[in-house]
Amino acid sequence: MNNLYDFAYDLEKAMRNSDEFKHLTEMYQSVANDSEANRMFGEFRNVQMQLQQKQMEGQDISEEEVMHAQEIANRVQQNEKVTKLMEAEQRMSMTISELNKIIMKPLDELYSSLS
C-alpha cells in the first residue's frame, strides 16, 4: 500500500490540474494585472485579516472598524475582476471543505461509534 503522503501529493497534483484551480489562477492573474483591482483586493484582504486576528485574540471589534470593513467590501463588490476572484476563491474553498469531509470520514465513523 502507498504511503498516505504519496496520496496527499497525488491529491495536490489533481488539485493543481482541476478546473476550479485553473479558474482561480486565471481570476487571480486578472486582478494582479490590474493595478486598481489589485490595490482594492489587497486592502480588502488586509482589513479582513486584521479583523480575524482581533477575533482570534478575543479582542472587541469597534463599530468604526466594522463600518470601515463594510465600506471596503462595498467598493470591492463594484469591481468585476475582484468579485470574480472572490467567487473563484469561494468555490475553491468549498471544494477543499468537501475534500476534508471525505478525508476525515474514517475518523468521524470511528468516533461516532463510541457514542
Per-residue confidence at 26, pLDDT binned at 50, 70, 90?
very high
CATH number of residue 63's parent domain: 1.20.1500.10
Place of cell 493595478: 35
CB burial class (10 A; 0-12, 13-18, 19+) of residue 85?
A: buried
Distance CA 101, CA 99 (A): 5
Distance CA 54, CA 41 (A): 20
Domain interval for residue 79: 4-112
Per-residue confidence at 114, pLDDT binned at 50, 70, 90?
confident
Distance CA 33, CA 74 (A): 21
Distance CA 8, CA 21 (A): 16
pLDDT digits (tens, 9 = 90+) for 57-94: 999 999 999 999 999 999 999 999 999 999 999 999 99
Number of domains comprising the chain: 1
Distance CA 65, CA 95 (A): 31
